[in-house]
Amino acid sequence: MRSKFSFSLLGILILSIMAISLSSCLTYKQIVNFQDGEVLDSGYIDSISNFYPLKLQPDDVLQVIVSSFETEEARRFNTMMGGANNQQMGGGGGGGINVSEPFGYRVDSKGFVEMPVVGKVYLKDKTLEEARDEIARSIEATGYLKEFSLQIRYLTFRVTILGEVTRPGSFTVPNSRMTILEAVGLAGDVGIFSNRDNILIIREKDGERVYGRVNLKSKDIFNSPYYYLKPNDIVYVEPHKSKILSTPDPVSRYIGTIIAFTTLITLFITLFNN
């Protein structure tokens, strides 16, 4: 009877050790994105309804280039105002690095950019296309150029990506659109031990800070209001619990060794007494 009890105790201990070991392992479903997207490879077409054109806000920086056959006159409008400041930009290896801010026209706190000859032009809450039209009208009003072309470009789309990614840091792209997938790609992708179904986005909007969550494991991410990021968004990728369980530290190593040694001695004593 006691022998049966000993073997039962041994079985329970072995199963317990196996359960603890398996609890720190990730499964295939925990590390694969778009798990419910089987239809995505069969010609499936989905309409884009969650993208809204970027609207200019204070501290945005624009590149404006005026071209014309009247070269000397066009040059009046291409003299950049302001200076260059340092900012963080994503790079290889260890995350963000210091670089010079793009040299262009900064939207001031009241929503204006100040250009040579033209003066102040109000651009707050305008899309790039609307800003281009507004600047073109202001240039025409000066009478210096009869015919010209105008190029306008957004220079300061920056997001910060933290947490369980390969290269955390702040990243700037010369574009007016960035998706959560592009941002994760800039950071070198999420790690094996990332919590893919609960990624946090922190966004400042109209003087408030709002929070949203996206799930990389579901195709519903494409319809999320946070799929298209906004300038200065912060993306935080949480570590999976398995990383905590699998990360060794001095205390846990010593405790684990003591427990294993004690368990082994107890088993031998129990078996020999029976």
* Domain harbouring 70, CATH code: 3.30.1950
Confidence of residue 262 (pLDDT cuts 50, 70, 90): low
Average pLDDT for 71-77: 82
Amino acid 44 reads Y
In a domain, 216, yes or no: yes
Across 3-16, average pLDDT: 51
Residues 70 and 32 in one domain: no
Residue 88 is encoded by which pair of tokens? 């963080």
Query: Are 33 and 21 within one domain?
Result: no
User: Is the Cβ–Cβ distance between 172 and 89 less than 8 Å?
Assistant: yes
Amino acid present at 131: A
pLDDT band for position 264 (cuts 50, 70, 90):
low
Query: What pLDDT does residue 177 have?
Result: 85
pLDDT tier at 81, thresholds 50, 70, 90 = very low
Q: Is residue 140 part of a domain?
A: yes
Task: Note whether 167 and 93 are within 8 A (CB).
Answer: yes
For the stretch 177-232, pLDDT in tens is 889 999 999 999 888 778 888 889 999 877 789 999 998 888 888 889 999 998 88
Q: Count how many domains the chain has.
A: 3
Same domain, 251 and 233: no
What one-letter code names the amino acid at 37? G
Tell the residue number behind the tokens 């408030």, with chain if given. Answer: 208
Residues 115, 68 share a domain: yes
CATH number at residue 179: 3.10.560.10
pLDDT bucket at 97, cuts 50 / 70 / 90:
very low
Is there a domain that residue 56 lies in? Answer: no
Task: Give the list of residues 6+ apart from residue 151 with CB closer than 8 angstroms, or none.
Answer: 63, 64, 65, 67
Residue 264's domain comprises: 2-26+244-272
Alpha helices, H only, the chain: 2-23, 71-75, 128-142, 180-186, 241-246, 250-272
pLDDT tens digits, one per residue of 46-57: 666 666 778 888
- Both 177 and 213 in one domain: the answer is yes
Same domain, 168 and 207: yes
- pLDDT score recorded for residue 219: 83
The answer to whether the beta carbons of residues 176 and 154 sit under 8 Å apart is yes
CB 202 within 8 A of CB 236: yes
237 and 175 assigned to the same domain: yes
pTM, whole model, 2 decimals?
A: 0.61
* Mean of pLDDT values over 154-169: 89
Are 44 and 172 in a shared domain?
yes
Higher pLDDT, 210 or 173: 210
- Same structural domain, 71 and 204: no
Do 122 and 88 fall into the same domain?
Answer: yes
